[in-house]
Structures are given as C-alpha cells and as structure tokens.
Amino acid sequence: MQSDDKPVNGQHVPNFLDLLDQTSPPPATGPDKDSGTNLAQLGAAWTASWEQGGFLHGRWEELRQVPQAGWHGMANWIKALLILTGMCAVVILLDAALNRLADALPATQVGTSAFDEFWGVVDNPIRTYIAQHTAGLPVSGAAIYTFWQITGLFGLIGGFTGATGARLTWTVWGATTVAVVWTTTPADGRTVATAIAVLAWTIASTLALRGWSLRPVVNNFPALAQPAPAFQPQIEIRPEFHIPAPAPDDDAPDNVHPFQR
C-alpha cells in the first residue's frame, strides 16, 4: 500500500501501517501443535513406565512371579483382584441359579408376605407408640422413627466391628424395643409378639455381639513389688569320704611307710 506521508528534510516518516508490517507473526499455537506435544509426552511416559524401575514394569514383574511366590508371597493388589473376581463369579452363578429356580417354580409371594408380617409384629407397635407419645414434642413422629432405625443400624454395624459403645447402644436399643412391643401390643397377642421381638433381637445379636464372651478373664501378673536378691550363692553338694592320714610315729622304723594311693 502506498503511503501518503511526505518526507521531512528528505527523510521518510514511517506511519502505523509500516509498523504493523514490520512486526513478526505470532507463534503457531493451534490445536494440532498442542495435540502433538501431548501425544509426545504420553508416549514418553508410557516408555518410561516400562523401563527398569517403572510402574508398569514393577507390576509386570509381580505378575510374572505369582507362580513361584504362591498365595502368601504375591502382591496384595493381585490378591484383592483375585478375591473380587471370585466374588463376582459367585454372584453371577448364584444369580443365574436363582433365576432358573424362579422360572421352574410357580410364582408365589408367600415368602415375601410372611417376612412382612413378622416385621410388622415389631414395627407396627413401634410406630404406634411413637405416634401416641410425640404429640407435644417439637420433632415429628417420622423423624423419631427414622432416628430409631438409624440407632439400631449403628449399634448393629458398630457392634460387628467390636466398638464397645456401639454394643452398649445395641443392647439398650434392643431392650427398649422389646419393652415397647410388650407395652403397645394388645393383651391377646402380647406374649407372642414379645417373644418374636426377643428372638429377632437375639438372632441379630450374633452379628452385633460377635466375639463377646461371658467367661471371666483372669490375668495373673508377676509380683513386681518384691525386689530380686542381689546375690544368690550357688551351693553344690557331693557325697565324699575323706580319710585322714595317720600321725607320724617317732618309734617306727624308717623302712615302714604308710600306704598311699
């Protein structure tokens, strides 16, 4: 483009367009260049991981040593993978077996209805008792019922892990549930309902109180208060006979000497 600026004192004065023409073009940072750099970095990381001391190289060596190491010597992640695979296989086989059994048997809801009825023997008195005794409380009966369920679940899971507080919570929760069932159930079925609640509580206690024993534990610790003697003499007893030598006799002849052994 031709410039309209006139020279000053015989010299050309550059305009703004001339300055733009002299600037260098910006570096190319398009998506093609970035993708090429990322692929190069990924390739270098992949190659480095397979070298001696790399992550993938170490995992491959652990897999290769499984036949010689055995179950106790193999890596923990391999054990976890094998256990998870076995569990998935068992679940798939059980699911297939149950589906075939369900297809072979006629459709029935006796088991489901029976479970719901047994659960209702314990659950319905709890709901009724909460609804009757939460009229003046700032919390709703539904919230208290949810809290009752969460407390029982906490006691069951925490007791299974061995937490003492959770086991105490489970014991108090079960005793309170049995007392509520006894109080709320009508007199005609009170005994049977309470017995069902007690049996259900004791069955679940096999998990919540796992490992707990009523047998007393006696610890016999050595008496540390008595100081040990500083010196104990060792006495050795051996049976021996010592015969004293006869006293010398001045009148005895010189050629007579006592017998010596």
Tens digits of residue pLDDT in 177-202: 999 999 999 988 899 999 999 999 99
Q: Is residue 261 part of a domain?
A: no
The one-letter amino acid at 224: L
Instruction: Tell me whether residue 185 is in a domain.
Output: yes
The total of structural domains in the chain comes to 2
What is the C-alpha separation between 90 and 97, in angstroms, rounded?
A: 10
What's the distance, CA 206 to chain centroid?
20
Residue 57, domain member (yes or no): yes
Phi-psi region of 70 (alpha: psi -120 to 50; beta: other; left: phi over 0): left
Taking CB atoms within 8 Å and a gap of at least 24, the contacts of 78-84 are none
- CB burial class (10 A; 0-12, 13-18, 19+) of residue 174? buried
| Same domain as 170, residue 116 | yes
Q: Based on the domain organization, do 165 and 199 belong to the same domain?
A: yes
Angle (CA) 224-229-230 rounded to 5° is 120
- The C-alpha atoms of residue 50 and residue 58 are separated, in whole angstroms, by 8
Q: Is residue 78 part of a domain?
A: yes
Position 186 in a domain: yes
Percentage of the chain exceeding pLDDT 70? 62
- Summary mean pLDDT of the chain: 75
Residue 151 inside a domain? The answer is yes
Q: Are residues 100 and 114 in the same domain?
A: no
Q: How far apart are the C-alpha atoms of 191 and 182, rounded to whole Å? A: 7
**pLDDT tier, 223 (very low <50, low <70, confident <90, very high otherwise):** very low
Q: Which of residues 105 and 168 earns the better pLDDT score?
A: 168
Same domain, yes or no, for 164 and 198?
Answer: yes
Q: Is the pLDDT of residue 15 over 80?
A: no
Both 55 and 134 in one domain: the answer is: no
Report how far residue 41's alpha carbon sits from residue 48's, in angstroms, rounded to the nearest whole number. 11
Cα-trace Rg, the chain: 47
pLDDT of residue 170: 92
Whether residues 79 and 119 fall in one domain: no
Lowest mean pLDDT among 43-47, 105-109, 184-188, 216-220: 105-109
DSSP character for 232?
-
Contact criterion met (CB below 8 Å) for 177 and 125: no
Q: Are residues 93 and 117 in the same domain?
A: no
Cβ neighbours, 10 Å, residue 124: 14
pLDDT tens, residue by residue, 93-117: 877 776 776 566 554 444 456 667 8
For residue 5, being part of any structural domain is answered with no
202 and 120 together in one domain? yes
Per DSSP, the three-state class of 223 is: coil
Strands (E), the chain: none
Kindly report the CA angle at 259 between 255 and 261, in degrees rounded to 5? 140
In a domain, 143, yes or no: yes
Residues 136 and 158 placed together within one structural domain of the fold: yes
Bridge partners, residue 11, by sequence: 8
Per the structure, the complete domain to which residue 57 belongs is given by: 46-104
Asked if residue 191 and residue 125 are part of one domain, the reply reads yes
| Token pair recorded at residue 1 | 């483009």
Q: Are residues 147 and 193 in the same domain?
A: yes
Both 92 and 125 in a single domain?
Answer: no
